[in-house]
Structure 1
Amino acid sequence: MASSTPAAPYVVEDCGRNLQLLSDGTVIRFEDYNTLPPPALPPALSAVQYKDVVYDATRGLKLRAYKPPPPLAGGEKKKLPVVVYFHGGGYLIGSYEMDNFHACCLRLAHDLPAVVLSADYRLAPEHRLPAAHDDAATVISWLRDDQAAWLAEWGSADFDRVFVAGDSAGAGIVHHVAVRLGSGQLPVDRNAMRVAGCVMLFPFFGGEERTRSEAENPPGPYLTLPSSDQAWRLALPRGATRDHPLANPFGPGSPAMEAVAMPPLLVVVAQLDLLRDRGVDYVARLRKMGKSVEVVEFEGQDHGFFAVEPFGDAADELVRVVRRFVHGDGADVSNKS
Structure 2
Amino acid sequence: MMSSSSSLSAAAGVAEVENCRDVLRVFSDGSIVRSPEPSFMVTVEDDGSIEWGDVPFDFDLGLHLRLYRPRCRVPTDPARFPVFYYFHGGGYCIGSRTWPNFHNYCLRLATHLRAVVVSPDYRLAPENRLPAAIEDSVASILWLRSQALSGDPHPLLADADFSNVFVSGDSAGGSIAHHLAVRFGSDEARADLKPVLIRGFILLMPFFAGTIRTRSENECPPDAFLNLELNDRFWRLSLPVGSTTDDPISNPFGPGAPDLQTVRFDPMLVVVGGKDLLRDRAVDYGERLKKWGNPVEVLHFESQQHGFFTTTPKSKPADELMRSIQRFVDQTGNKSDRSRSSGWCLAVVF
Q: Relative to 1, partners in 2 of residues 1:180 and 1:152: Cα closer, same or farther, differing over 3 Å?
A: same
Q: Which residue of 2 aligns with 1:278?
A: 281
Q: Which residue of 2 aligns with 1:61?
A: 63
Q: Which residue of 1 aligns with 2:339?
A: none
* One-letter code aligned to 2:108: R
* One-letter code aligned to 2:290: R
Q: Relative to 1, partners in 2 of residues 1:191 and 1:247: Cα closer, same or farther, differing over 3 Å?
A: closer
Instruction: List gaps (5 residues or longer) in structure 1.
Output: 1-6, 332-337
Pick aligned residue for 2:315 from 295, 312, 323: 312
Cα distance, 1:188 vs structure 2: 4.7
Q: Which residue of 1 aligns with 2:53?
A: 51
* One-letter code aligned to 1:49: E
Cα distance, 1:329 vs structure 2: 1.3
Q: Relative to 1, partners in 2 of residues 1:27 and 1:126: Cα closer, same or farther, differing over 3 Å?
A: same
Does the CA contact (< 8 Å) of 1:90 and 1:168 recur in 2?
A: yes
Does the CA contact (< 8 Å) of 2:168 and 2:177 recur in 1?
A: yes
* One-letter code aligned to 2:229: P
Does the CA contact (< 8 Å) of 1:17 and 1:33 recur in 2?
A: no
* One-letter code aligned to 2:64: K
Q: Deviations over 1:197-254 (max 9, x none)?
A: 0111011111111111111232454210010001000000011111110100011221
Is 1:196 aligned with 2:196? no
Q: Which aligned pairs between 1:1-337 and structure 2 lie closer than 5 A?
A: 9-35=14-40, 37-39=41-43, 41=45, 45-72=47-74, 77-147=78-148, 148-150=151-153, 154-183=157-186, 188-189=191-192, 191-219=194-222, 221-329=224-332
Instruction: List gaps (5 residues or longer) in structure 2.
Output: 1-11, 335-350
Partner Cα separation in structure 1 for residue 134 and residue 190 of structure 2 = 15
- Identity of aligned pairs, percent? 47
Q: Which aligned segments of 4 or more residues in structure 1 are displaced greater than 6 angstroms?
A: none
Cα distance, 1:309 vs structure 2: 1.6
Instruction: State how many pairs are aligned.
Output: 321
Q: Which residue of 2 aligns with 1:3?
A: none
Stretch of structure 1 that moved more, 214-223 or 306-315: 214-223
Cα distance, 1:153 vs structure 2: 5.3
Partner Cα separation in structure 2 for residue 166 and residue 153 of structure 1 = 21
Cα distance, 1:292 vs structure 2: 1.3
* One-letter code aligned to 2:16: V
Partner Cα separation in structure 2 for residue 185 and residue 251 of structure 1 = 25
Q: Relative to 1, partners in 2 of residues 1:153 and 1:107: Cα closer, same or farther, differing over 3 Å?
A: closer
SS at match of 1:243: coil
Partner Cα separation in structure 1 for residue 51 and residue 21 of structure 2 = 35
Partner Cα separation in structure 1 for residue 70 and residue 314 of structure 2 = 17
C-alpha root-mean-square deviation of aligned residues, in Å?
2.1
Does the CA contact (< 8 Å) of 2:49 and 2:72 recur in 1?
A: no
Does the CA contact (< 8 Å) of 2:248 and 2:254 recur in 1?
A: yes
Q: Relative to 1, partners in 2 of residues 1:221 and 1:38: Cα closer, same or farther, differing over 3 Å?
A: farther
Cα distance, 1:24 vs structure 2: 3.3
TM-score scaled by structure 2?
0.86
Does the CA contact (< 8 Å) of 2:203 and 2:270 recur in 1?
A: yes
Does the CA contact (< 8 Å) of 1:220 and 1:302 recur in 2?
A: no
Does the CA contact (< 8 Å) of 1:181 and 1:188 recur in 2?
A: no
Q: Relative to 1, partners in 2 of residues 1:152 and 1:215: Cα closer, same or farther, differing over 3 Å?
A: closer
Partner Cα separation in structure 1 for residue 119 and residue 142 of structure 2 = 15
Cα distance, 1:30 vs structure 2: 2.2
Cα distance, 1:328 vs structure 2: 1.2
Partner Cα separation in structure 2 for residue 180 and residue 260 of structure 1 = 9
Q: Relative to 1, partners in 2 of residues 1:289 and 1:75: Cα closer, same or farther, differing over 3 Å?
A: closer
Stretch of structure 1 that moved more, 151-160 or 265-274: 151-160
Does the CA contact (< 8 Å) of 1:164 and 1:174 recur in 2?
A: yes
